[in-house]
Amino acid sequence: MKNPFRPLLTIFALLTMLTGCIYPLLVTGLSQVFFPSQANGSLIQQGGIVVGSRLIGQNFTAQEYFWGRPSATANSPYNAYDGKTLTGSAGSNFGPLSQAWVDAVQIRLAFLHKADSSNKRPIPVDLVTASGSGLDPNISVAAAFYQVPRVARVRGLGEEAVAALVDQFIENRQYGLLGEARINVLMLNLALNGIK
């Protein structure tokens, strides 16, 4: 009588090699050839030093920079990643009826009012609510323009110059249909550093 396990083990070994080795190596190789930047994390370098990724929100807390969306994993409103504790990517899982969510939004509102007490514009919702991952690299156009007076004042620049820079970094909807217009905070802040 034949061993019934031999065909099963053969198929198992074959599929393991195909899906566990050959396919990942093929996809990785093709992505390195055709999309090397994206395959390696869309890293941004300046002077040979990696300063961030286009895909991961950075922790900008200084007054002279535009701030990104808050992270649900942090105690402070603008902390996307903590290298010491290796925390930073998670959603809050709180709904708008949760008291913890309301309290977090109130703390963030107070923080923004304190950071720029002369700004009487309505605060855009994405500056006080955490993104799904806690590491969103983009903010809305309204969130960027809300921050223009503070950034311009701290840097000693005219609001018109900073607003013109914000205009240059607006990314429209994908394919003209998907999502909303947005601004990558890291790219905007790097350009802001280039202004003298």
Note if the pTM is more than 0.85. Answer: no
DSSP state of 113: H
Residue 86 has pLDDT above 70, yes or no: no
pLDDT band at 1 (very low <50, low <70, confident <90, very high): low
Domain ranges of the chain: 5-36, 42-193
Q: Which amino acid is at 158?
A: G
The number of residues making up the chain comes to 196
Distance CA 68, CA 60 (A): 7
- Reference 123, options 70, 173, 188; nearest CA is 70
Specify the 3-state DSSP secondary structure of 122.
coil
Q: What is the mean pLDDT of residues 56-84?
A: 70
- Answer whether 111's CB lies under 8 Å from 77's CB: yes
Q: pLDDT tens digit string along 138-158?
A: 999 999 999 999 999 999 888
Q: Is 6 left (phi over 0), alpha (psi -120 to 50) or beta?
A: alpha
Distance CA 107, CA 77 (A): 8
